[in-house]
Amino acid sequence: MVQQGQVFQLTRCGPGGERLWAYRYRTGGRESERVQRGGFASEQDARDALERELERLRRERRIPAHSRLRSSERRTSHSTMCSR
């Protein structure tokens, strides 16, 4: 099974009013648990953390690393303004 995840913008804001980012992935198939981690300052930080986590899971399960997060699989939540 190919392991994939999503990076998205959270609707809540950080302490300084900045937008926060998160990622999520499933631990197995469709019916498996969905893990979500958030609070990243940028989309790139969240994407890097997701890649590290997926790589760790691939090593544990000995899944080939040919699977990478593609931009078409990324979902961004609706855009709301943060009050500053």
Does residue 79 surpass a pLDDT of 50?
no
User: What global pTM score does this model have?
Assistant: 0.68
- Is the CB of residue 50 less than 8 Å from the CB of residue 5? yes
Q: Which tens digits make up the pLDDT trace of 33-74?
A: 999 999 999 999 999 999 999 999 888 888 665 554 454 444
Output phi, psi for 58, to 5 deg. -60, -45
Which is nearest to 36 in space by CA: 83, 77, 78?
Answer: 77
Instruction: Give kind and range of the element (H or E) at residue 44.
Output: helix 43-61
Give CA–CA dist 50/79, Å, rounded. 22
